[in-house]
A and B are shown apart, each in its own frame.
Chain A
């Protein structure tokens, strides 16, 4: 349907970067935990729950290899209900972009550039992301592929270098509050993995669609394991006081001091923030623009990208007027319920429709 083609590896890169973004900035999954030392359990369980859910989306996409999730939902559910589901997803991706932009803006202005209005920072990053998206999915994918190595390196540096202030005793006791205490944080972890619904928009562009199955699992595993690393390091360095940090990964980098000459490397998490956020914004602005175009029946989504980017900037100021609103939404379970609500409903609807279609063999054929 398009000349643009991306490789499964590039798809994986975009997904990993999107997932790492919120964790390197605010890490709500960690700060939401009553006993932060259980983060590795949350990470592992989160991955185990997320893999089948994401695979369902990928499987649906492979049934319609030349259609995006917004297009085939209209095939599966009928024109009008399909458009509603499509709009819901467009809104969801748009909202992810808005939340990510707000998280970056709030964090940069709280941590480093206190006097700078956050709309300027968000505006620059959103412009960067939107320009990449405007040039098509290939450009975005290549940027992501090249940035992935740097971002992973930054994450590893942040997790390894504070070794002299780590105390492994902070990792005990395991599961003192029982399994129940993990549930909110697990929901949060899974809800961030549900951002991978965007793979439904990418599949028609992937050169070898079948490999998306494998690479989306790789993406979940890589991102999940890096998150566990970051979480464990933060817990070992800050102990019980990690819960009171608003930006654990940034604070982590501030603890690095090796031999009194290798210090003050906050630029490392900041670099990761900016790279992750601009790539994530480009992906989600692109997905929501294309999705909206397909709901409205426009021939192409490119024209919507800059307006969508501008909307993201505006909405990130309007929706999240201060840091409290943002962090409350992300850590009080609001985000988890909202994200899981939308994505699980969509997946359930689409899968049951696909299942019924197969049973009765009716409906307009999509493939």
Chain B
């Protein structure tokens, strides 16, 4: 083979390789999906898939008028499976849906109560969606309505919801954020049930329709994040409010920051707010003769953030200790609220069973048989070490002199 023939052959191969073969995708033909919603469709047994697709030309466009074009478009399609619905989108979307950038997957309450596992498979199996998308459940609404939520401060709602999630997680620790990966681990793992974010839909207008409006002149719905959704296997069984959710986060050591309110010692009807600065939480299941006992140990450090009434911290160290005790009490109550709720519904969201499997692999097969009953029966002991470390910029509250 001459040198020319060789070069020719290499050029030929490069022609094939560089165009990306059969599976090439041109950027201008793709529609980037930023959020996904799943509901039961009106037809029996079908799934309704709603997606929020970014409109790049509306994001980059230089429309400087008072009313701006929405940078997203909401579309919906149905199918017996998620994948069928996904393909059905092609008959209504001129751009081919591209799934890699989906920030979150939201399930309507009805769908979540009947089980989410069937719908999740597509997002695990297909090559485009990622396991890093967050999963949320919208309370008393359909996911399709939730995708109409908008924010005045953030043009792209999916980014807004994602920012809310991060904000709630980092500033309040009242939301248990789970990605598809976390959820699949809890579904597949023994002795652990899933828990994920609850979002609420705040309707500002009675009927929300899909797609429709192009202009961003009026916001029809808002949202807030208030706690989490408790699952038994893959079915939603209960909602957890903010303190209960934080109870869960204490046990699993995920509390980042947040506010703990306590009654001020010595003063009636006055609160002090403590800002959590760090926390550590862990649990140890013990198999005793009287049954399973779980020892939960939490260590929390906080700063004094606000006091409604006068206390001079220099003069009364006993009050300082008293506030620490009250703080420990609040943390303990939150934990017990979470544990009691989980036990009531038989949903082992903490993974007590999984921890027993890790620590006592010999006993686990026996306990696994009837884990739900064992979980409901087990007793919990909570140890909280609460410390107030600092008190901000003042030594005592400015008091009114009579």
- B-contacting residues of A (Cβ < 8 Å)? 110-117, 120-121, 124, 127, 165, 169, 172-173, 176, 237-241, 244, 251, 254-255, 257, 264
Contact = CB atoms under 8 A, between A and B. Distances in A.
A240 B188 contact: yes
B188 A257 contact: no
B16 interface: yes
A113 B24 CA distance: 8
B361 A114 contact: no
9 contacts: A112-B127, A113-B20, A114-B127, A116-B22, A116-B23, A124-B17, A237-B181, A239-B185, A257-B132
Contacts of A127: 13
Given A124-B17, A173-B358, A240-B188, A255 B23 contact: no
Nearest to B188: A241
B23 A239 contact: no
Given A115-B22, A237-B181, A241-B181, 6 more contacts: A111-B127, A113-B23, A116-B23, A121-B21, A124-B13, A254-B130
Residue of B13, B179, B189, B358 with most partner-chain A CB within 10 A? B358
B131 A172 contact: no
Given A124-B16, A238-B185, A113 B359 contact: no
A140 to B, nearest CB: 18
A110 B189 CA distance: 26
A113 B21 contact: yes
List the 6 closest pairs (A to B, CB-CB), nearest first: A176-B361, A172-B358, A113-B23, A239-B185, A173-B361, A241-B188
A240 B353 CA distance: 14
Interface residues of B, number: 26
Interface of A is mostly: helix
B189 A239 contact: yes
A255 B357 contact: no
A120 B127 contact: no
A241 B185 contact: yes
B100 interface: yes
Contact of B184 (A120, A121, A241): A241
Nearest to A169: B358
Contacts of A113: 20-23
A264 B100 contact: yes
Residue of B181, B187, B355 with most partner-chain A CB within 10 A? B181
Contacts of A121: 21
Nearest to A178: B361
Interface in B211-246: none
Nearest to B186: A239
Contacts of B364: 176
B329 interface: no
Nearest to B364: A176
A327 to B, nearest CB: 14
Contact of B23 (A114, A251, A257): A114
B350 to A, nearest CB: 12
B359 A173 contact: yes
Interface in B322-375: 355, 357-359, 361, 364
Given A111-B127, A173-B359, A238 B21 contact: no
Nearest to B189: A240
A295 B21 CA distance: 40
B253 to A, nearest CB: 11
Interface string B14-30: 00110011110000000
Contacts of B130: 254-255
A173 B357 contact: yes
Residue of B16, B190, B361 with most partner-chain A CB within 10 A? B361
